[in-house]
Structure 1
């Protein structure tokens, strides 16, 4: 998984556990894609201060994931749901006469994906 996606997922799951100042800076860097200099200018701190804060946030969020594994579980469930959809596609393509069953399972699978 690429680093930006991983950081965004960690923030989605554990971001509320950061202080408001940390959340503000981290959101600007990860979600808004602002540079260290832009963030430093807005926050009135040095580029190095922004860099250190982002590194500290990354370590904190990764520490939560190491203990709770919520992102790992989320990605595993999402992968299994995609497998269900792939199998349903194959079943549907085989021309079996269970279209209603396939449609019902696909609907439930899609609802779970949307909730995740």
Structure 2
């Protein structure tokens, strides 16, 4: 896997994790945090938990599948990304119309609320 693809995958897993973390088991949460957040190697995680690298790999792969399964059913990340794209489109349309959201507190407040 290329460095760019690995980075894309890491970013996606981190985003999915942000949405669905509490739906994972404690072990899945821990392994994903170590691997994707803290950048531990499979060997380092295996040593920490006194299991094989293969077992760590399988736990991580299973947790990734669980995250993707939740996303396919609930679509929270896709909705979040779509909302952000729509907000960008709105901001661009307002700028083209000569409306500065920075100078309009009401519009700025609404955009800020929608981003949360």
| TM-score tier (shorter) | 0.7 to 0.9
Partner of 2:18: 12
CA contact 2:94–2:100 (8 Å) conserved in 1: no
- Tell me the distance in 1 between the aligned counterparts of 2:89 and 2:112: 12
Partner of 2:86: 80
1:64 is aligned to 2:66:
no
1:41 is aligned to 2:43:
no
SS at 1:33 equivalent: coil
Q: Which runs of 5+ in 1 are unaligned?
A: 93-97
One of 105, 108, 115 as aligned partner of 1:106: 108
Q: How well do the aligned residues superpose, as a CA RMSD in angstroms? A: 2.1
CA contact 1:36–1:51 (8 Å) conserved in 2: yes
Pair member with larger Rg: 1
- Tell me the distance in 2 between the aligned counterparts of 1:33 and 1:99: 41
SS at 2:97 equivalent: helix
TM-score by length of 1: 0.83
Count of aligned residue pairs for this structure pair:
109
